[in-house]
Amino acid sequence: MPAALRGDVDRSASNSQTTQHALGRFLASVELKAFRIAHAALRHEQDALDAVQDAMLQLARAYADRPAEQWKPLFYRILENRIRDLQRRRSVRDRIMAWLPFAADDDETADPLAAAPSPELPALRRLEIDEAITALERAVGALPRRQQQVFLLRTLEGLDVEQTAHAMGCSQGSVKTHYFRALRALRAELSELI
């Protein structure tokens, strides 16, 4: 192999490793937030984990060669499409399961360590925080899907209007409208907690 070609191959391999490391750091940085978004939409832990994992794999396989600043909107667009697919499948599955003569088992047991209060906070304060978080999750879950999606992408993930519009496949004006309506609905719902 000529020396010039060998140098190009070495640089290409080095760039590939750098991209892989950058993509790995990006995926690690969005993993928890993406799970929260998926869990809020799907209300099922395993489905949310599957949606996030599928979105990460698709981003890594199809879009790793894109510039790093494009990854975040692309990732959330992929995640939203995966959530929508899972919701459709669940809807069909639920309609089919309703006609079957048996009931599903609810063998899921709660992890007692995860349910234990944090030792750093007094029990009363921890209870207040838990109640506030539960109320917020319930209020966000009651929002229409597009408002919920905009609210979570803007507040939890910190996307700006343009990135949110790209991730959702809509106009920036639509993002602003949905975000305003979501905030107004949440303020009305949670006014007694504030």
pLDDT in tens, 103-160: 444 444 455 555 555 556 577 777 777 787 888 888 888 999 999 999 988 888 888 8
What is the per-residue pLDDT across 9-29, written as a single tens digit (0 to 9) for each?
344 445 678 888 999 999 999
pLDDT at 105: 46
Report domain 112-194's class: mainly alpha
With a cut of 70, say whether residue 5 has pLDDT above it. Answer: no
pLDDT band at 31, cuts 50/70/90? very high
| DSSP state letter for 110 | -
What is the mean pLDDT of the segment spanning 63-91? 89
Q: Domain extents for the chain?
A: 10-103, 112-194
DSSP string, 22-39: HHHHHHHHHHHHHHHHHH
With a cut of 80, say whether residue 189 has pLDDT above it. Answer: yes
With a cut of 60, say whether residue 71 has pLDDT above it. Answer: yes
Buried/exposed code over 45-81 (b: 16+ C-beta within 10 A; e: otherwise): eebbeebbebbbebbbeebeeeeeeebbbbbbbbbbe
Taken in order 150, 153, 155, 161, the sign of the CA dihedral is negative
Mean pLDDT computed over every residue of the chain: 79
What is the mean pLDDT of the segment spanning 73-98? 80
What is the per-residue pLDDT across 43-52, written as a single tens digit (0 to 9) for each?
889 999 999 9
pTM: 0.57
Report how far apart, in Å, the C-alpha atoms of 109 and of each of 102, 106, 113 are: 21, 8, 12
- Indicate the range of 1-15, 39-53, 76-90 predicted with least confidence: 1-15
With a cut of 90, say whether residue 78 has pLDDT above it. Answer: yes
pLDDT at 107: 46
